[in-house]
Structure 1
Amino acid sequence: MSRPPLPPFNAETAAQKVRLAEDAWNGQDPEKVSQAYTSDSQWRNRLEFIHGREDIVAFLTRKWEREQEYRLIKELWAFQDRRIAVRFAYEWQDQAGQWFRSHGNENWEFDENGLMRYRAASINDQPISTTDRLFRWPEGRRPDSHPGLSTLGL
């Protein structure tokens, strides 16, 4: 299975890979998202260590059950050969109605087929009010006209 763009990355293909990941995560389909990772992919996400697609699906299912009204923006930070560094922010609401903006960084490593074999994420949650929300597009893919993190000052 191949997931273009393939490494080694350049500025254009690395940015494309980041946007494809953002689009997939905003689609909130754990099975579909898991297909972008190797079958033995390893993740570190906050306190969890995740191994393989089955764990990825279980993790994402739990995540999106807890994080309602999820909206994500990712931005390319750096790249080299088969590695990409990303910064991101996403907004979500918990079951009690509290809004959050979660900020973080991810380090990715891909195999020769463009599948992610390693993902390390560091994330911090910031409670926000409804009026402080910045990510207000309809559920799904962020519109091309919606500003990115740098434009929003995040």
Structure 2
Amino acid sequence: MSTRPPLPPFTRETAIQKVRGAEDGWNSRNPEKVSLAYTVDSRWRNRADFVQGREQIVAFLSRKWVREQDYRLIKELWAHDGNRIAVRFAYEWHDDSGNWFRSYGNENWEFDENGLMHTRHACINDLPIKESERKFHWDASGPRPADHPGLSELGL
């Protein structure tokens, strides 16, 4: 069995580390890599999609990142307790017609004793934006730079 530190129970510092690790993973846009942060039987609700297990996670994320091009995500800790973390997030992306969006949402996460996420509930809303209204400007091939503002600093 693999472990994925930091492990629960989470402190504020370790919860922030977990959130940033998730953000960096999702910004890789590598479905196989991202799926390894979840238990083999992980259960998700993402908008109206219900996903269970790593194989479905990989398929879901593969479809997502074909549709949501130039994806850039910022997550921020909202609350934590024991083996649970709540986050708020925003991400920017465009569709294949060049229409830009900023998607806002909240996630509730529950982890097993090995630090793998067992449960993920996500509520997400999309806001059409103009390309000139984008706020997330870093190289899409990597994580958000340490000096790039977070959601609170951006007023989001």
Which TM bucket (shorter chain)? over 0.9
Does 2:124 match 1:150?
Answer: no
**Aligned residue in 1 for 2:53:** 52
- CA drift of 1:63 comes to 0.2
- CA drift of 1:148 comes to 0.1
Does 2:130 match 1:129?
Answer: yes
1:2-151 matched pairs, under 5 angstroms:
2-139=3-140, 140-151=142-153
- CA drift of 1:39 comes to 0.3
Determine helix, strand or coil for the equivalent of 2:74: strand
Question: What are the Cα deviations for residues 1-36 of structure 1, in whole angstroms up to 9, with x where unaligned?
Answer: 100000000000000000000000000000000000
Q: TM-score, normalised by structure 2?
A: 0.98
Name the aligned partner's letter for residue 112 of structure 1: E
Determine helix, strand or coil for the equivalent of 2:60: helix
Question: What are the Cα deviations for residues 120-152 of structure 1, in whole angstroms up to 9, with x where unaligned?
Answer: 000000000011000010012000000000000
Name the aligned partner's letter for residue 14 of structure 1: A
Alignment RMSD (CA, Å): 0.3
> How far apart, CA to CA, are the structure 1 residues paired with 2:48 and 2:95?
19
Q: TM-score, normalised by structure 1?
A: 1.00
- CA drift of 1:98 comes to 0.3
Segments of structure 1 that go 5 or more residues without pairing to the other structure are none
> How far apart, CA to CA, are the structure 2 residues paired with 1:117 and 1:100?
29
Name the aligned partner's letter for residue 61 of structure 2: L
Question: What are the Cα deviations for residues 62-96 of structure 1, in whole angstroms up to 9, with x where unaligned?
Answer: 00000000000000000000000000000000001
Determine helix, strand or coil for the equivalent of 1:55: helix
- For these two proteins, the number of residue pairs brought into alignment is 154
> What fraction of aligned residue pairs are identical, expressed as a percent?
69
